[in-house]
Amino acid sequence: MADGAAADQTWAASPGRHGTARSFLLPAQYGVFPVALLVAWQVCAQIGFVRRSVLPAPTDVALVWFDLITGATDVAARYSGTWLDHAAASIWRVLAGFASGGGLGIVAGLLIGLSRIMERVLDPTVQVLRNIPVTAWVPLSLVFFGIGNAPAIFLIGLGAFFPAAVNTTHGVRQINVTLTKAARMMGANERELLVRVILPGALPSIMTGLRLSMGIAWVLVVVAEILAVRSGLGYLLNDAYLFYRNDVVIAAMLSIGILGFISDRIVVLVRDHLLEWNRLETFSGEN
């Protein structure tokens, strides 16, 4: 009996020990890889077997980035203090394209998912157009819309449309038929079926589609800004490349990466907020 009690006590104490170990391990798990990457990069740049202007060190990039944003040191020369305007232009284009393309994609996906007739009318066209890389639309959209925001938003919208449409269709089609039957049995009309069953039931898949749309929007904003407009982080990146400012190029790249990451986090937060119920029903990974 005494042995048993002692064993119980050590067992009871162990979660606390694990707890402190884990609270230290958690930031380490997040930090270890990026830190290692930065260190390796700094070392490579400083050994000097590539010229510093070709491969600037992380510290060089940090300094030029700081000047890009604040305009305080003039390290970025002609780009000094321009970051906010470029970032704002890119964010605005991404949001406009994402909202219009994603919104239309959800509508198209609902139509195709809900109606076999609409599936026959729309789906073949969507599936063919989906297989044309959006970059292949660049020449035509420049001819149609000229230089400016219009072709950029068109391209981003087009890219955002397809993942939203395809995933919405999938979301509608994987709704458990017992639920639609039950709603019908209870007397739901078409509108009630859509609002109370189809939309919430398809929402996990719709959110997956929107997340992909957001990712593609950040890819295409760079493409569009290199080719079709004279502002934005993509423009900054390309212009700095032409002036052989690789430090600015890398700062612009990382800016795009971070802004893309933040917008993805926002979509994920919205999703997790809306889909709290879904976490109870699905696998969420192991520790």
Binding site for other proteins (CB under 8 A): 176, 178-179, 181-189, 192, 196-197, 200-201, 203, 275, 277-278, 280-281
Task: State the nearest-atom distance from the C-beta of 198 to other proteins, in Å.
Answer: 11
Name the token pair of 108. Answer: 């198209």
Nearer to other proteins, 104 or 175 (CB): 175
Task: State the nearest-atom distance from the C-beta of 254 to other proteins, in Å.
Answer: 38
Nearer to other proteins, 180 or 238 (CB): 180
Task: State the nearest-atom distance from the C-beta of 170 to other proteins, in Å.
Answer: 17
Residue among 267, 250, 277, 41 at smallest CA distance from 160 = 267
DSSP string, 19-87: HHHHHHHHHHHHHHHHHHHHHHHHHHHHHTSS-TTTS--HHHHHHHHHHHHH-SS-TTGGGTT-HHHHH
Nearer to other proteins, 32 or 195 (CB): 195
Task: State the nearest-atom distance from the C-beta of 179 to other proteins, in Å.
Answer: 6
Query: Is there a contact between 85 and 71 (Cβ–Cβ < 8 Å)?
Result: no
Q: Residues with Cβ < 8 Å from 179, sequence gap 6 or more?
A: 197, 201
DSSP SS3 for 148: coil
Task: State the nearest-atom distance from the C-beta of 163 to other proteins, in Å.
Answer: 23
Up-side HSE of residue 77: CA atoms within 13 Å toward CB? 9
Nearer to other proteins, 131 or 282 (CB): 282
Nearer to other proteins, 50 or 182 (CB): 182
